[in-house]
Every structure is written in structure tokens, then in C-alpha cells.
Amino acid sequence: MVKKPRYPSLTVDRAITILKLIGKSQQQEMGISEIAHELDISKSAVHRIVSTLEFHGCVQKNPSNSKYALGLTLFELGNIVPLFGNRRAPDHSHLLYYLCDNIGETVNFGIPDGNGFASRAGAARDST
């Protein structure tokens, strides 16, 4: 478990709290006033934070009711975590060996990272 920062950013903390609140809401959407009331934060502060989150795609505004839902950027970031969260690929060696056995060739797998690879794995046929 990560310790609480000694000097946390109030704005970042509020932004993450807003995202969690929207994600856990019954309707999966919330308006500025609802968020402000629920978190006891001024509407202007909530509006500034939500506007910034919207700009970055973390929330999206429903034009029919002006409420906000979680945005696709969070989904995209969430899908990166299993691949790069610990800078290692998930262990798929069983798949590599399956491929190797079925096609009779050496199989390599790598995740590109700049000019190299963040993670590599391979499977080679038995030479016997």
C-alpha cells in the first residue's frame, strides 16, 4: 500500500474523488451541483476541475442533461496498466510454447517501448 503523500495536491485529490464519485453513482452521470453538494465543494471549484477533466477526456458531458459521465481516456489508461504498469508484460509463456509446438518454429513476443522493448518473451523448439 502506498503511503499518503506528505504534501498532497488538493486539486488532484479532488479530481480523483470526483471521478470516483461519478463512477459509483447510480445513474453513472452527475451534474456540477450534485457533485458540489455531495463533496461539499463550491460549484465554481467543481466546474473548473470537471472542465479540465473533460478537456482531457476523463469525463464527457451529456448534452441532453448537462451531466457528466466517465470518459474514454480512463478506459484507455486502464487498459495500459496490465501491459506497462510494472513495465513487464503479463506472463503468456504458455501461449508462446503452444504456438511453438504447433507451428514448429521459435516464437518471440515483445512490447515496443521507444527504440527497444519494455518486455520480451520467447519459446524455442527442443532440438532433440
Task: State how far the Cα of 128 lies from the Cα of 116, in Å rounded to an integer.
Answer: 32
User: Could you write out the three-class secondary structure of 15-74?
Assistant: HHHHHHHHHHCCCCCECHHHHHHHHCCCHHHHHHHHHHHHHCCCEEEECCCCEEEECHHH
Q: What are the start and end residues of each CATH 1.10.10.10 domain in the chain? A: 10-76
Q: Which of 25, 124, 125 is nearest to 70 (CA)?
A: 25
pLDDT classification of 94: cutoffs 50, 70, 90: confident
Q: CA triplet 18, 69, 67: central angle to 5 degrees?
A: 90
pLDDT digits (tens, 9 = 90+) for 15-59: 999 999 999 998 889 999 999 999 999 999 999 999 999 999 999
Domain 10-76 = CATH 1.10.3470.10: no
What does the mean pLDDT of the chain come to? 84
Q: What is the pLDDT of residue 84?
A: 54
Give percent of the chain with pLDDT exceeding 70. 77
Mean pLDDT is lowest, of 9-13, 21-25, 124-128, for 124-128
* Whether pLDDT at 108 is above 70: yes
Residue 33 contacts residue 45 (beta carbons within 8 Å): no
Supply the pLDDT for residue 71.
Answer: 93
pLDDT-above-90 percentage for the chain:
48
Q: At what angle do helices 43-55 and 10-24 cross, to 10 degrees?
A: 80
Residue 61 pLDDT class (50, 70, 90 cuts):
very high
